[in-house]
Amino acid sequence: MASIAFYGIKPWGQEHLKKRLKGHKLFFHEEHIGQDHPPVEKDIDILSVFVGSDVTAEVIEGLPKLKFIATRSTGFDHIDLKACEKRGIVVSNVPSYGENTVAEYAFALILVLSRRIYDAYEQVREEGDFSYDNLQGFDLMGKTLGVIGTGRIGKHTARIGKGFDMEVLAYDVFQDKKFARKEKIKYVSLEKLLKESDIVSLHVPYMKGTHHLIDKAKMAMMKDGAYLINTSRGAVVDTQALVGALKSGRLAGAGLDVFEEEEAVQDEASFLSAKDTTEHDLRNVIADHILVDMPNVVVTPHNAFNTKEALERILDTTVSNIEKFLKKKPQNIVN
């Protein structure tokens, strides 16, 4: 029998897990954990978190018996893997619960911007105004979609783009030539993709090599009036530079499901009192607020994964990750 603590888990998810993990000592918390919200139970063997948690070296230090972390997400940049390695803690993720789920959401953001769906909705609902004079959008057919990162989600996004009769350009450090031939997409350099795409959609993981992958210089390469869609991780984009590019009109708009310091914006009181808050972090939070208020920007609360089907797939894979670890046959290991 293992002691397993789940954080950031809603009541329906708790019920699902209770049925699937009978015989183990289970602890559930709706809150996330982090340096300022350390785990409640200290003697656990297994920890399961979602992206709102920040599993730092200090958090790990406070869990002396911890052997396994099962993150219920694809990304694992919220876990200090070096600290895990030092302690021999195995970390697993859920590699493929939502390639369609996230790609569909990227297109939801694209369509909100291209067809002014939010403006139309607000005009009708708030003003009872049914005129379409100020709601002109643009076609996706014939436009160029640039997909950065053609892993599971990026590939699905590219396929949906082809479904809209878009030209699709792709950039990845590993090119899947077979996929490109089959789907009639073209791998190009990052510079060429940025220069030629009307809409750029980001699907790379967050890591050292992708930190501010889209910075001020890259934004300057983008086509005049292009749109940027980010459903990957906030820090892949330099938020302060994005504000500048949108304000100057270089970029026409952005659809952001993720942004730098999103946890801070969600809980500003804790952010303000945190010991390690830097001036740079504060500037990013201000930039986030500016983005939220801009009429040509759609910001959503890291919601792309959030469908019934995807959440069930997440929990099923997490249970399987835990069971396999306990049988000494760990799967979906990321460290």
Residues of this chain that bind ligand NAI (CB under 6 A): 74-75, 98, 102, 148-154, 171-174, 203-206, 209-210, 231-233, 257-258, 302, 304-305
Q: Is 159 a catalytic residue?
A: no
Q: Is 211 a catalytic residue?
A: no
Rounded CA separation 314/299 (Å): 24
Instruction: Give the chain's end-to-end CA distance (angstroms, integer).
Output: 25
Instruction: Give me 112's structure tokens.
Output: 């909100």
Would you say 52 or 75 has its CB closer to ligand NAI? 75
Catalytic residue among 99, 260, 261, 262: 262
φ, ψ (nearest 5 deg) of residue 4:
-125, 125
Q: How far from the centroid of its chain's Cα atoms is residue 293's Cα?
A: 21
Catalytic residue among 32, 156, 233, 261: 233
Q: Is 233 a catalytic residue?
A: yes
Would you say 23 or 209 has its CB closer to ligand NAI? 209
Least separation, in Å, of the C-beta of 335 and ligand NAI? 15
Would you say 39 or 149 has its CB closer to ligand NAI? 149
Least separation, in Å, of the C-beta of 141 and ligand NAI? 25
Would you say 151 or 330 has its CB closer to ligand NAI? 151
Least separation, in Å, of the C-beta of 99 and ligand NAI? 6
Least separation, in Å, of the C-beta of 210 and ligand NAI? 5
Would you say 137 or 151 has its CB closer to ligand NAI? 151
Least separation, in Å, of the C-beta of 291 and ligand NAI? 16
Rounded CA separation 41/81 (Å): 21
Would you say 63 or 103 has its CB closer to ligand NAI? 103
Rounded CA separation 171/150 (Å): 7
Least separation, in Å, of the C-beta of 151 and ligand NAI? 2
94-118 exposure pattern, b = at least 16 Cβ within 10 A, e = fewer: beebbbbbbbbbbbbbbebbbbbee
Active site residues: 233, 262, 302
